[in-house]
Amino acid sequence: MKAYWFDNQPGDQRDDHDSGKLVDSDYLRDLGILYYRCPSIDEVDAIAKERSYKNRDEITVSPEKMGDVYEDKVKMFFNEHLHEDEEIRYILDGNGFFDVRNERDDWVRIRLEKDDLIVLPAGIYHRFTTDTKNYIKAMRLFKEDPQWTPLNRRPEVDENPYRQSYFQASSVMLDLSCPPQHVLRRSAGYMKGWPPGHATCTGIDNF
């Protein structure tokens, strides 16, 4: 796993788009994202059990497997969307990128490889793409069936109750007086966990 700020440069979605500015796993946690390295399926099963997951499937995203619909599928996965439930993705082979939005709508790009597992919280806006090797095999784990649907971003989805609760939880650390180029520091009372503690602007440059 490697996480960094998306460079917002034009080009193929499958290019790295690496701004060179890393994002650490504490920051991912503040967004409600959990990351685990799972060299065996036992660890995946344990996480799934603890978080009450009931369903799973496997998907191979590649031109070999998908044929003519591959390009359309990859474009579809790259539409910004959310789910009304948590989603777990466990990478079995190949590589891919999950892009996730922070509270300011900046993109964090998370590059995943074999044995990486991420948990995306309900209500977080995200999108997915393969990389230039055009191959990933992943296990998708779902809590329930009905909420598998991706809800593409649009004004009424911004008002969705799952979006609203996610946004409120993740914005706890947002100090609106802090310009984006400055580092936010969490309050002394900050406890590890979700939602994160309050934060204040340090006046120090981010990058």
Binding-site residues, in ranges, read: 81, 83, 87, 126
Known binding-site positions for Fe(2+): 81, 83, 87, 126
Among 59, 92, 157, 169, binds ligand KMT (CB under 6 A): 59
For residue 174, give every residue at least 6 positions away whose Cβ sits within 8 Å of its Cβ, in sequence order, or none: 103, 104, 184, 199
Binding map of ligand KMT across residues 71-110, x = CB under 6 A, - = no contact = ------x---------x-x------x--------------
Percent helix, strand and coil across the chain, each to the nearest 5: 25, 35, 40
* In the complex, minimum distance from the CB of residue 134 to ligand KMT, in angstroms, rounded to a whole number: 13
* In the complex, minimum distance from the CB of residue 77 to ligand KMT, in angstroms, rounded to a whole number: 4
Question: With respect to ligand KMT, which residue has the nearer C-beta, 59 or 169?
Answer: 59
Angle at 180 between CA 20 and CA 184, to 5 degrees: 95
Among 140, 182, 185, 198, binds ligand KMT (CB under 6 A): 140
5 binds ligand KMT (CB under 6 A): no
Question: With respect to ligand KMT, which residue has the nearer C-beta, 27 or 135?
Answer: 135
CB atoms under 10 Å from CB of 187, counted, come to 13
CA–CA distances in Å: residue 128 to residues 24, 41, 75, 97, 111: 20, 23, 9, 6, 10
Where do the DSSP E strands lie in the chain? Answer: 2-6, 18-22, 34-37, 55-61, 81-82, 87-94, 96-101, 107-112, 116-120, 126-130, 136-142, 151-152, 182-186, 199-205
Among 31, 33, 138, 141, binds ligand KMT (CB under 6 A): 138
143 binds ligand KMT (CB under 6 A): no
Chain positions contacting ligand KMT, by CB under 6 A: 59, 61, 77, 87, 89, 96, 128, 136, 138, 140
